[in-house]
A and B are shown apart, each in its own frame.
Chain A
Amino acid sequence: ETGVTQTPRHLVMGMTNKKSLKCEQHLGHNAMYWYKQSAKKPLELMFVYNFKEQTENNSVPSRFSPECPNSSHLFLHLHTLQPEDSALYLCASSPEGGSGVGLGETQYFGPGTRLLVL
C-alpha cells in the first residue's frame, strides 16, 4: 500500500463512451502525475500537476482530459477513445513544492487502472 489509490481497477469501454479515472493520494503530496503503460512498452508520462496547476502535457491527444480539483485528487476524463488507447493507466504523486515543474522528488505510484477500449 503506497498511499495512492486508483479507481476503477479495471474498465472496459466502447469508443463512444465517456468515462473517468480517479486517483487519490493520502500522503500530503503537492504534485500528481498520469502515466500510460501500453503492452510491452515503457511507462510514458502524460500529465503533471503541481499545486493543482497543470505543469506538463506530454503531447497527449485531447480525448484525454485531466482534472485536478485539489492536491489530493486527480481525474482523467476519457471520451471517444480508440482501441490503441487500451493500456494500464498509472497515477503517481510526489512531495514537490514551489513553483514551476518540480519533478525531483521520489514518486509513489498507485496500482493502476487496466483499460480496454473496444
Chain B
Amino acid sequence: DQQVKQNSPSLSVQEGRISILNCDYTNSMFDYFLWYKKYPAEGPTFLISISSIKDKNEDGRFTVFLNKSAKHLSLHIVPSQPGDSAVYFCAASARGSQGNLIFGKGTKLSVKP
C-alpha cells in the first residue's frame, strides 16, 4: 500500500503561471517532508522541505504547504519557468526510521513557453 501518493502523473503549465503539485500521505508517523526534482537519467535533486511543526516553508519561487489534518502537502512554483520542467517527487520520513525516505511516484511538470 502506498504511503505517499502523487495522484497526478503529469501537469502542464504556461510559463509565468503558478504550478501546484500535490501529495497525500497515509502514515501519521511522518514528520518530515521533502520535494525533489529529477531530470531524466539523473538522480533526484533536493528542492525544499518542511517539518511537521510548520505549515509553510518558502524558498524563492518555491513554497511548500503542509496540512497535517488532511495529510496533504503541496508545492507551489511561481512564476513557473521552462527550466522547471522535470519530474517532481514528494518524499516523507518518520523520526526514528533512520531517515529513510518514502517516495511518491512523481509528477511530470511541463512548463510551456
Partners in one complex: no
Interface residues in chain B, defined as those with a beta carbon under 8 Å from any beta carbon in chain A = none
